[in-house]
């Protein structure tokens, strides 16, 4: 592939770090964003190609121009944008606070909107661009105790579909990857939370998550990166929410 300038949010660990490594191995320049510089520099130090650590809180409106500006000064416009930053909260609906609700919207929906809005003009001007949002199977179906998270993820899938329809024919594609439970620190936090609330051991809690995926195991970070790679390479895939969930949601 032609070497492209990439920006990956939430790139300090987990899925984001593995996606950054895949893009770098494919020969691209990769800018990494997360809140903490230390984690970004640790990941950047493992990449085989050019890298740039750009710390910033994606929920801060001012951070959007700061992050893009840093990349543009170094390498020019962002051509591949992977919006991976995100997290979840779990609580019964009646105990989901306004703060929990707003945090889920800010991080999982509003931040991707702002980054996408900032990236699109340069992509359309150049006639080429790839945007990939790491969503969740919670963008496709609801589940108990994740009303705020699922609402935000459903929203970001709607954003992806609308943006893709608007940009069709410009050379810019917009897609979402919808993983099930991935073997990451975020899932480890979920396991610990389930164990603390239910009295089960962490091994029992993890087994309960595994049982939700027909393949009988957690998804690997590399499998999520495979789907991102497909979206970057293909000009014909756009407006999709690609499930990477071991067959849990068939759509």
pLDDT of 187: 83
pLDDT of 158: 98
pLDDT of 148: 98
Q: Angle at Cα 27 formed by Cα 24 and Cα 33, nearest 5°?
A: 30
Place of tokens 């992509």: 123
pLDDT of 198: 85
Please state which CATH number belongs to domain 5-180+220-244: 3.40.50.720
pLDDT in tens, the chain (251 residues): 799 999 999 999 999 999 999 999 999 999 999 999 999 999 999 999 999 999 999 999 999 999 999 999 999 999 999 999 999 998 999 999 999 999 999 999 999 999 999 999 999 999 999 999 999 999 999 999 999 999 999 999 999 999 999 999 999 999 999 999 999 888 888 888 888 888 899 899 899 889 989 999 999 999 999 999 999 999 999 999 999 999 999 98
pLDDT of 192: 86
Residues 6 or more apart whose Cβ sits within 8 Å of residue 71: 5, 7, 31, 52, 54, 78
CATH 3.40.50.720 maps onto the chain at: 5-180+220-244
Instruction: State how far the alpha carbon of 27 is from the alpha carbons of 5, 30, 32, 127, in Å.
Output: 10, 9, 15, 20
Q: Could you give the residue numbers annotated as active site?
A: 149
């Amino acid at each position: 592939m032609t070497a492209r300038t990439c920006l990956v949010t939430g790139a300090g660990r987990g899925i984001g770090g593995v996606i950054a490594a895949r893009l770098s191995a494919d020969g691209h320049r990769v800018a990494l964003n997360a809140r903490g510089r230390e984690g970004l520099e640790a990941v950047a130090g493992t990449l085989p190609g050019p890298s740039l650590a750009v710390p910033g809180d994606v929920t801060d409106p001012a951070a959007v121009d700061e992050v893009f500006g840093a990349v543009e000064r170094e390498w020019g416009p962002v051509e591949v944008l992977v919006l991976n930053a995100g997290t979840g909260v779990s609580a019964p609906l009646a105990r989901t606070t306004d703060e929990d609700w707003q945090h889920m919207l800010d991080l999982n929906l509003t931040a991707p909107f702002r980054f996408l809005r900032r990236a699109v003009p340069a992509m359309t001007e150049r006639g080429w661009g790839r945007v990939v949002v790491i969503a969740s199977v919670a963008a496709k179906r609801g589940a108990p105790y994740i009303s705020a998270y699922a609402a935000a993820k459903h929203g970001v899938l709607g954003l992806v579909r609308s943006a893709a329809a608007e940009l069709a024919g410009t050379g810019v594609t917009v897609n979402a990857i919808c993983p099930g439970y991935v073997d990451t620190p975020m899932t480890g936090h979920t396991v610990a939370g389930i164990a603390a609330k239910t009295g089960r051991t962490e091994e029992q809690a993890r087994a309960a998550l595994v049982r939700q995926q027909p393949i009988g195991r957690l998804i690997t970070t590399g499998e999520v990166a495979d789907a991102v790679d497909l979206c970057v390479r293909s000009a014909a895939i756009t407006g999709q929410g690609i499930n990477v969930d071991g067959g849990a949601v068939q759509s």
